[in-house]
């Protein structure tokens, strides 16, 4: 069979009605049958890129460039192949062992001073109102105005502690909070210097891996991180360099908190983008990462260096879809009310739970 005949046969697999044109509907149907999640708008963009004569569909002469592009996307670059070999060489056993050690500074310390670090204020405002926090402008100044600061006392029966709430500052240019990935790194270092709390708690939302599949985490679940890793710091010069890029930091090795509060204890990954690549999916599967956020790994990395006891609690607000990043954002909006209600219950329970305990009790 000649190359041209092979190309015609491939074209016919898309052109289901045999009229010589691949329409948006035909292309979307083909991609769906092969497990590629995409909406009509995404498929329309593909057709528009390949439709040289602007007929609204793809003809045989336009099919070859599209087919070549699809094949190129299937072939991994040398960098991707090196990353996959680094992941597979020991199934990340060494990195898993480092995370499993945990990081605890003074397990006998009574919890009398807690810092709650959040990025989005709306996610915690109703619970904080219960404790009547007061804005602390003097502390904000000492933190270089990188965060808004509020303080209050949390009481549970006969025990209490001081709670400091830090919310990432907002950009006056865009009217949105600054990037959690970078901002929290600076804040955590200043927390160690200026506040010296017994415990630092990171609270927010994250995307759940495998949402909708049996046995996986669900939207509305609360995850207690067993460790924090980066999934977007690619290093391929050596196995050690690769693992160093992935390693974020350990957390307080909690033994009771997840069971007492009904939290899902699992590994948490961080990256700055919603987009998830194929090598990242392999890393997620190999390490057993249950959820992705944008700030826990840098928080854990700094906390480990400056001697802060650190835990991360994340509400699952959406799924993780490597082929469809926009779906993650859509689900975040769609489930906001449910996730917010579950988050408020979880945060209230966590704050009351800490009163009267030592770090080792967790």
pLDDT tens, position by position, 2-22: 766 777 787 888 888 888 888
Burial class (CB within 10 angstroms; exposed 0-12, middle 13-18, buried 19+) of 158: exposed
Class of domain 3-74: mainly alpha
- Of 117, 95, 128, residue with least CA distance to 203: 117
Numbered ranges of CATH 1.10.238.10 in the chain = 3-74
Rg (CA), the chain: 24
Q: What is the pLDDT of residue 78?
A: 62
Q: What is the pLDDT of residue 73?
A: 56
pLDDT in tens, 313-337: 999 998 888 867 778 888 888 887 7
DSSP per residue, 132-195: --EE-HHHHHHTTTSEEEEEEEEEETTEEEEEEEEEE-B-TTTSSBPPHHHHHHHHHHHHHHHT
Numbered ranges of CATH 3.40.50.1580 in the chain = 78-361
Q: Which token pair is 242?
A: 């690769």
Q: Which token pair is 10?
A: 């491939």
pLDDT in tens, 122-153: 767 777 778 889 999 999 999 999 999 999 99
Contact predicate 231/209, CB 8 Å = no
- What is the CB-side half-sphere exposure of residue 257 using CA atoms within 13 A? 30
Distance CA 300, CA 23 (A): 49
CATH number for the domain formed by residue range(s) 78-361:
3.40.50.1580
């Amino acid at each position: 069979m000649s190359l041209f005949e092979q190309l015609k046969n491939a074209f016919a697999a898309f052109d289901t009605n045999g009229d010589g044109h691949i329409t948006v509907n035909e292309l979307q149907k083909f991609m769906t049958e092969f497990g590629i999640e995409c909406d009509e708008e995404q498929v329309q963009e593909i057709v528009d890129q390949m439709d040289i004569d602007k007929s609204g569909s793809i003809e045989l002469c336009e099919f070859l460039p599209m087919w070549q592009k699809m094949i190129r996307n299937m072939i991994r670059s040398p960098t991707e192949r090196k990353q996959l070999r680094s992941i597979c060489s020991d199934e990340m056993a060494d990195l898993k062992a480092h995370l499993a050690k945990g990081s605890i500074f003074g397990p006998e310390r009574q919890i009398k001073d807690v810092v709650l670090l959040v990025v989005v204020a709306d996610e915690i405002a109703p619970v904080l109102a219960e404790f009547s926090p007061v804005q602390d402008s003097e502390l904000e100044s000492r933190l270089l105005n990188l965060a808004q600061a509020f303080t209050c006392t949390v009481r549970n029966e006969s025990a209490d502690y001081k709670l400091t709430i830090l919310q990432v500052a907002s950009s006056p240019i865009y009217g949105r909070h600054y990037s959690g990935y970078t901002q929290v790194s600076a804040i955590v270092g200043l927390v160690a210097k200026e506040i010296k709390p017994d415990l630092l708690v990171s609270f927010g939302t994250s995307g759940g891996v495998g949402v909708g599949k049996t046995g996986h985490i669900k939207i509305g679940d609360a995850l207690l991180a067993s460790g924090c890793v980066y999934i977007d710091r690619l290093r391929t010069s050596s196995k050690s360099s690769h693992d160093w890029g992935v390693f974020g930091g350990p957390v307080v090795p909690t033994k009771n908190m997840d069971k007492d509060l009904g939290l899902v204890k699992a590994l948490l990954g961080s990256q700055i983008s919603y987009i998830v690549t194929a090598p990242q999916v392999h890393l997620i599967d190999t390490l057993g990462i249950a959820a992705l956020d944008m700030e826990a790994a840098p928080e854990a990395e700094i906390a480990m260096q400056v001697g802060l006891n650190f835990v991360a609690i994340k509400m699952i607000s959406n799924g993780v879809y490597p082929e469809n990043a926009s779906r993650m954002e859509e689900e975040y909006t769609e489930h906001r009310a449910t996730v917010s209600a579950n988050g408020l219950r979880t945060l209230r329970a966590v704050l009351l739970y800490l009163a009267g305990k030592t770090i080792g009790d967790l």
